Amino acid sequence: MVGLRFLLNRDRCLGMLLVRDCQAERWVVIIPRQRVTKDSASWHPAKRDFPWLTPTSVVLGSFQIRRLEPGEDPIDTLPFNDGLHFVVNAKERPYVTQSYVRIDGTPRLVQPHEIIVDDLQQMLDDAAGRIQY
């Protein structure tokens, strides 16, 4: 995990963007320009930082590893854009990743089984009618 490695090597938190290239049908994780501290990261992505992104690339979420203070709610640390957002609290052991979906500006906590799909199994299920045994 990039964020954990960065934290362990530099003692700083890190944020990343989850980007989908809709034309190439692939996911890309990018590290935007940001200010990092021991407890958090703050980023403001700019197109000029990623000239290789295609016009069909869209930011669909984020990942961040940070140290939450006691009583600090991870939901309050999410970016304001809609999408799928992951927050890892680096003060907890073992590290716990919380998953959120923000739709129409409203974030909600979701369980991993609600958002993670076994692509391989789904592909095999979709192809079942085309495979003869």
Q: Which domain holds residue 85?
A: 2-130
For 88, the token pair is 């890892």
Q: Say whether 77 sits in a helix, a strand or coil.
A: helix
Looking at residue 87, its pLDDT comes to 95
Looking at residue 75, its pLDDT comes to 94
For 82, the token pair is 């809609």
Q: Are 64 and 86 in contact (CB under 8 A)?
A: yes
CA atoms of 77 and 115, how far apart (whole Å): 20
Residue 54 pLDDT > 90? no
pTM, 2 dp: 0.80
Would you give the DSSP letter of residue 32? Answer: -
Would you place residue 19 in the very low, low, confident or very high pLDDT band (cuts 50, 70, 90)? Answer: very high
81-130, pLDDT tens digit by residue?
Answer: 999 999 999 988 888 899 999 999 999 999 977 887 766 777 788 888 88
Mean pLDDT confidence for 7-31: 89
In the chain, the percentage of residues whose pLDDT exceeds 90 is 40
Q: How many distinct structural domains can be found in the chain?
A: 1
Look up residue 86 and give its amino acid: F
Would you place residue 26 in the very low, low, confident or very high pLDDT band (cuts 50, 70, 90)? Answer: confident
Q: Are 97 and 86 in contact (CB under 8 A)?
A: yes
Better pLDDT: 117 or 30: 30
Better pLDDT: 53 or 76: 76
Please, what is the Cα angle at 88 between 45 and 26, to 5 degrees?
Answer: 50
Q: Say whether 128 sits in a helix, a strand or coil.
A: helix
What's the chain's average pLDDT? 88
